Amino acid sequence: MKKFIDGKAIAEKLCETLKRKVKKLKNAGITPCIALIKANDDPASEIYVSKKENLAKALGIRSQTYKFLPGVKENFLANLIEDLNRDPDIHAILLQSPLAEGLSFKKLINLISPEKDVDGLTSVNQGKLFAGEDCVLPCTPQGIIHLIHSVQEDISGMHAVVLGRSIIVGRPMISLLLNNDCSVTALHSKSRNVIKICSEADIIVSAVGRPKFITKDFIKEGAIIIDVGINRITISEGKRKVVGDVDFDDVWNSVGAITPVPNGVGPMTVAYLMSNTVNLAINQNRKKLGLV
Ligand code: NAP
């Protein structure tokens, strides 16, 4: 088994396939289009949105960004989402989290039509995923399954531990691993015996958001470690750096395979956002494409 899971390289390969798919769609008169809504003044969100715009452009996907400052009214965003739902040229809608204070993510996300819910976060898509039905899969967990499969094709019967239970990462991750026939343990801030449970896992997916949280005591020899965390730490005055949840150097000798931060899960999330956009555009144009 390879040790270093190069998310950047795997995402680039996926994007090459996407580029060809987009070209075919364009030849059929369809340009996939994603609407990105950002309603906060968070600098990290600004970076994420521009990464999404840039990759869309590179793949030939159209993107339309709507940026709002804190203070924007929830009703205004609700009306925008309704308009985008009705617009046949928009195939995918993303609500960048977190939203500014006073805005309900849960309320606004559920106004997105499930057919345009590009990150699979509406209750309809989350419910379908939990029920094991076809649905739009959330991008980060979808990318993580791809990364795990890059080092271990058959994960059936493996014990997977997921740290974190957010709707963006933890919960859909639990369902996806279960749908891949893993035995899954879900851990969160109230869990007991976290280290012991992790040390029995064949796969650990950490989405806690705490630097150096996972050390070698958590690792069973040969386990696959997926580090979802994005933590900005200060390394010296005025100098900051992004690290994951895993103490990479500490666990390196024990792991079977591991994703780095950056260039592990992050690029896969954005690549699957584009993949979902393309698939939604296909689904919404089945008749035009002669698929029905
Ligand atoms: P979140 O909503 O803050 O969730 C964090 C989760 O960690 C919660 O469920 C929390 O439990 C759990 N937790 C906290 N302390 C714990 C502990 N000591 N032991 C076990 N679980 C603990 O965060 P999120 O949105 O899921 O994101 C998690 C991390 O992933 C963040 O660093 C985020 O930036 C990153 N992220 C990365 C990507 C990517 O593409 N690479 C995508 C999304 C998120 P409770 O539920 O009990 O509070």
Q: Residue 98 has what pLDDT?
A: 96
Mean pLDDT of 204-222: 98
Average pLDDT, the chain: 97
Active site residue 239: no
Asked if pLDDT for residue 207 goes beyond 80, the answer is yes
Q: Quick: pLDDT tens for 227-236.
A: 999 999 999 9
Asked if pLDDT for residue 2 goes beyond 90, the answer is no
What residue's CA is closest to ligand 1, atom 6?
164
Q: Residue 6 has what pLDDT?
A: 98
Active site residue 119: yes
Supply the CATH classification number for the domain 139-266. Answer: 3.40.50.720
Q: Quick: pLDDT tens for 255-287.
A: 999 999 999 999 999 999 999 999 999 999 999
Asked if pLDDT for residue 206 goes beyond 60, the answer is yes
Task: Characterise 183 by phi-psi region: left (phi > 0), alpha (psi -120 to 50), beta (else).
Answer: beta
Mean pLDDT of 81-106: 97
The CA distance from 109 to 37, in Å, is: 11
Asked if pLDDT for residue 28 goes beyond 60, the answer is yes
Mean pLDDT of 201-209: 98
Tokens of 183: 């035995």
Sheet bearing 33-39, strands edge to edge: 62-68, 33-39, 92-95
Mean pLDDT of 142-151: 98
Asked if pLDDT for residue 122 goes beyond 80, the answer is yes
Residues with CB under 6 A from ligand 1: 140, 163-166, 168-170, 187-191, 194, 207-209, 228-231, 265-266, 269
On the question of a common fold for 29-114 and 139-266, the answer reads yes
Q: Residue 1 has what pLDDT?
A: 57
Residues 6+ apart with CB under 8 A from 192: none
Query: Where in the chain are the domains?
Result: 29-114, 139-266
CATH topology of domain 29-114: Rossmann fold (3.40.50)
Please choose from 49, 188, 263 the residue to mutate so as to test ligand 1's pocket, defined by most ligand atoms within 8 A of CB. 188
